[in-house]
Amino acid sequence: MKTSEQAVTRTPAPAIRIDKVSRHFHDAQGEFVEALRSTSLDIAEGDFVAIVGPSGCGKSTLLNMLGGFDHPSSGRITLDGQLISGPDIDRGMVFQDYALFPWLSVLDNVMFGLRHTQSREDARAIARQWLDLVGLADFERKSPRQLSGGMKQRVAIARTFATNPRVILMDEPFGALDALTRRFLQQQLLKIWREHRKTVVFITHSVQEAVYLATRVVILTARPGQVKLDERVDLEHPRQINDPKFRDLETRIFDALDEELAKTFKLEASDGYAD
Amino acid sequence: MARSHPVVGSLGPYVFAMLAILSIWQLAVVALAPPPSILPSPTLVGQTLLEEMSSGALFVNAGISLARVSVAWVLSAVIAIPLGVFMARSRLAERLIDPVIELFRPISPLAWIPLAILWFGIGESGKVFIIFVATFFPIVLNTVSGVKRVDPVLIRAGRVLGCARQIDLFWRVIFPASLPSILVGLRISFGTGWAAIIAAELVASNSGLGYLIADGMEILRSDLVMVGMAAIGVIGVLVDAVFKVLQTRFG
């Protein structure tokens, strides 16, 4: 633990290296789609990287490739120098729609990823610890069906962090939640992240969320996706959204995004006329 | 008020429907005065029911019919569930097997009775064969659709949570996720099997509820026929109720 924390504060070694990655495919209608073009990005150990971009910019494609569910058409993605070839418990994932197993209790959901490596007792102890940390200790016997959206996502976060992965990939995890729940979960996530310093890659539509949470905000261009802007966020936690520095950064990111949004709309408009 | 008592409340409609049927029946017997061999009175059928119960004959025959269905249904499930899983997970298997199933599915299990008698005689194996045919398709089809409809995000979650091998993924994610649908198939098929065993026993048997009915007809005892029919209905409802409880537990 100590050594990895020092590594964060000193010169961070890149944990994830995305090297000239392109991804293109034919969609359901047989149209050629170029989602990403020669995108490169290094992510350091302990970084919290938020990726923002217009819809269809390839940010989900990128996350899927990091998860090992999709593969680059060209280029390579490595974690600690190892080529990512498929999904692995090393790379935890938090999904927008929670993906809890409805036939398992809350506790059994959190224990799910621990059963491969831990005894039942140890798994239960670790799972309880994490449920406690997200404030759901009293809900361990409940079925996920009985929980609200925010609570489900807290269970999913506990389930992912409990397995102690190298990297945590989050695919618009708070996108389906109302504003207040969202704010609460952002704070909880930050608390956990600051304690455990996991490497996080976080996809979001919200610039404010990105600047509030991340150590680094990456903007992707409209299709084909490429890195448009890569901003380090050096603000102290807890960040204030009306802090002038926060606002400044937000404005800069919005300016970059606006250009891409304009392109996206132009693209969609021309598509519309062509049909 | 029935509302104040949950059990009475839920049984209320049943009791009401039964009383309505019995009243209409009794009225018809009084008004038309048919010979008992055509339409026996409810009281006569009630008497026969008590006799058949106290002699144990009703329970023995019902037990035999239930046992036949259960054996064939379990056999069917043991083959149909793995086949359904295989079809759902392999495109090639589905494309090969599905046309065969679609061709055989519309053939009523009753149409198999003549062949079953020719192949197996009138012993137990022929009946097991007919029930097997009757229960097979609902289980296969519900298993296929259940496995196919597993939310892909659950499969992804399973994989990032350490289910690296297909077999782990199957037992820990795919199977439990499709279990509700498989249970529906098991429930439906028990119903179709239960309907088919009576038909099979009507034609070729010397035991079971179907035999009880056929025997009643031959000796012109409509009251016995009706007792057999009532037993079929009641057992069908009870078995279905058990499945419904299972479904709410695992669904």
Q: Which of B154, B172, B179 is closest, CB to CB, to A99?
A: B154
The pLDDT of residue A74: 95
**Whether residue B123 is found in the same domain as residue B202:** yes
Q: B173 in contact with A at a CB cutoff of 8 Å?
A: yes
Distances (CA, A) of B123 to B128, B131, B195, B202, B219: 9, 13, 19, 13, 23
* Beta strand pairing call for A74-79 and A82-83: antiparallel
- Chain B: residue whose CA lies nearest to A110: B161
Q: How many domains would you assign to chain B?
A: 2
Is the bond preceding B109 in cis, omega lying within 30 degrees of 0? Answer: no
Mean pLDDT throughout B133-154? 96
**Whether residue B103 is found in the same domain as residue B201:** yes
Mean pLDDT throughout A137-142? 95
Residue B38 or A57, more confident = B38
Residue B68 sits at φ, ψ, to 5 deg, of: -60, -45
Q: B166 in contact with A at a CB cutoff of 8 Å?
A: no
Domain ranges within chain A, ordered by starting residue: 2-90+167-274, 101-164
Average confidence score pLDDT of chain B: 91
Predicted confidence (pLDDT) at residue A87 exceeds the cutoff of 60 = yes
Q: How far is B249 from chain A (nearest CA, A)?
A: 10
**Whether residue B67 is found in the same domain as residue B145:** yes
Q: How far apart are CA A140 and CA A153, in angstroms?
A: 14
**Whether residue B10 is found in the same domain as residue B25:** yes
Average confidence score pLDDT of chain A: 89
**Whether residue B110 is found in the same domain as residue B21:** no
Mean pLDDT throughout B93-99? 93
Predicted confidence (pLDDT) at residue A132 exceeds the cutoff of 90 = yes
Q: What is the CATH number of the domain that holds B82?
A: 1.10.3720.10
**Whether residue B47 is found in the same domain as residue B3:** no
Q: Which of A102, A104, A116 is closest, CB to CB, to B162?
A: A116
The pLDDT of residue B145: 96
Predicted confidence (pLDDT) at residue B123 exceeds the cutoff of 90 = no
The pLDDT of residue B251: 62
**Whether residue B111 is found in the same domain as residue B142:** yes
Predicted confidence (pLDDT) at residue A262 exceeds the cutoff of 90 = no
Is the bond preceding A238 in cis, omega lying within 30 degrees of 0? Answer: yes
- Chain B: residue whose CA lies nearest to A161: B161
What is the dihedral sign for C-alpha B21, B22, B23, B25? positive
Contacts of A160 in chain B (CB under 8 A): 160
- Chain A interface, best mutation among B159, B161, B166, by max A CB count within 10 A: B161
Domain of B192 in residue numbering reads as: 40-250
Q: What is the CATH number of domain A2-90+167-274?
A: 3.40.50.300
Contacts of B177 in chain A (CB under 8 A): 101-103
Predicted confidence (pLDDT) at residue B248 exceeds the cutoff of 90 = no
Residue B177 and residue A101: Cβ atoms within 8 Å?
A: yes
DSSP 8-state class, residue B171 = I
Q: How far apart are CA B80 and CA B96, in angstroms?
A: 15
- Amino acid making up residue A8: V
- Chain A interface, best mutation among B154, B160, B165, B170, by max A CB count within 10 A: B160
Q: Kindly indicate the confidence band of residue A270, based on its pLDDT and cuts at 50, 70 and 90.
A: low
**Whether residue B52 is found in the same domain as residue B110:** yes
Q: Which residues pair with A23 in a beta bridge?
A: A36
**Whether residue B96 is found in the same domain as residue B219:** yes
* Beta strand pairing call for A216-220 and A48-52: parallel
3-state secondary structure A130-199: HHHHCCCHHHCCCCHHHCCHHHHHHHHHHHHHHCCCCEEEEECCCCCCCHHHHHHHHHHHHHHHHHHCCE
pLDDT, one tens digit per residue, over A59-86 is 999 999 999 999 999 999 999 999 999 9
**Whether residue B24 is found in the same domain as residue B113:** no
Q: B149 in contact with A at a CB cutoff of 8 Å?
A: no
* Beta strand pairing call for A216-220 and A227-232: antiparallel
Work out the number of other CB atoms within 10 angstroms of the CB of residue B209. 26
Q: Which residues pair with A7 in a beta bridge?
A: none
Residues 6+ apart with CB under 8 A from B63: none
Q: Kindly indicate the confidence band of residue B6, based on its pLDDT and cuts at 50, 70 and 90.
A: low
Length of chain A equals: 275
Q: A70 in contact with B at a CB cutoff of 8 Å?
A: no
The pLDDT of residue A5: 47
What is the DSSP track for B181-223? HHHHHHHHHHHHHHHHHHHHHHHS-SSSHHHHHHHHHHTT-HH
Predicted confidence (pLDDT) at residue A35 exceeds the cutoff of 80 = yes
Q: Which residues of A216-250 are buried (b: 16+ CB within 10 A; e: fewer)?
A: bbbbbbbbbbbbbbebebeeeeebeeeeeebeebb
Q: How far apart are CA B196 and CA B206, in angstroms?
A: 16
Residues of A numbered 101-160 whose beta carbons fall under 8 angstroms of chain B's beta carbons: which are they? 101-104, 112-113, 115-117, 159-160
Mean pLDDT throughout A115-132? 94
Q: Which of B151, B160, B177 is closest, CB to CB, to A67?
A: B160
**Whether residue B13 is found in the same domain as residue B76:** no
Q: Which of A86, A92, A99 is closest, CB to CB, to B153?
A: A99
pLDDT, one tens digit per residue, over A160-202 is 999 999 999 999 999 989 999 999 999 999 999 999 999 999 9
Q: How far apart are CA A86 and CA A164, in angstroms?
A: 18
Mean pLDDT throughout B108-131? 89
Residue A163 and residue B162: Cβ atoms within 8 Å?
A: yes
Q: Which of A86, A103, A113 is closest, CB to CB, to B161?
A: A113
Q: Kindly indicate the confidence band of residue A2, based on its pLDDT and cuts at 50, 70 and 90.
A: very low
Q: How far apart are CA B162 and CA A163, in angstroms?
A: 9
**Whether residue B68 is found in the same domain as residue B27:** no
- Among A3-7, A214-218, B177-181, which is the least confidently predicted range? A3-7
Terminal CA-to-CA distance of chain B, rounded, Å?
32
Q: B182 in contact with A at a CB cutoff of 8 Å?
A: no
Q: Which of A69, A101, A102 is closest, CB to CB, to B156?
A: A69
3-state secondary structure chain A: CHHHHHHHHCCCCEEEEEEEEEEEEECCCCCEEEEEEEEEEEEECCCEEEEECCCCCCHHHHHHHHHCCCCCCEEEEEECCEECCCCCCCEEEECCCCCCCCCCCHHHHHHHHHCCCCCHHHHHHHHHHHHHHCCCHHHCCCCHHHCCHHHHHHHHHHHHHHCCCCEEEEECCCCCCCHHHHHHHHHHHHHHHHHHCCEEEEEECCHHHHHHHCCEEEEECCCCECEEEEEECCCCCCCCCCCHHHHHHHHHHHHHHHHHHHHHHHHHHHHHHHC
Residue B129 or A14, more confident = B129
The pLDDT of residue B8: 59
Predicted confidence (pLDDT) at residue B5 exceeds the cutoff of 70 = no
- Among A88-97, A198-207, B193-202, B222-231, which is the least confidently predicted range? B193-202
Contacts of B176 in chain A (CB under 8 A): 101, 103-104
- Among A8-12, A221-225, B169-173, B202-206, which is the least confidently predicted range? A8-12
CB A167 within 8 Å of CB A198: yes
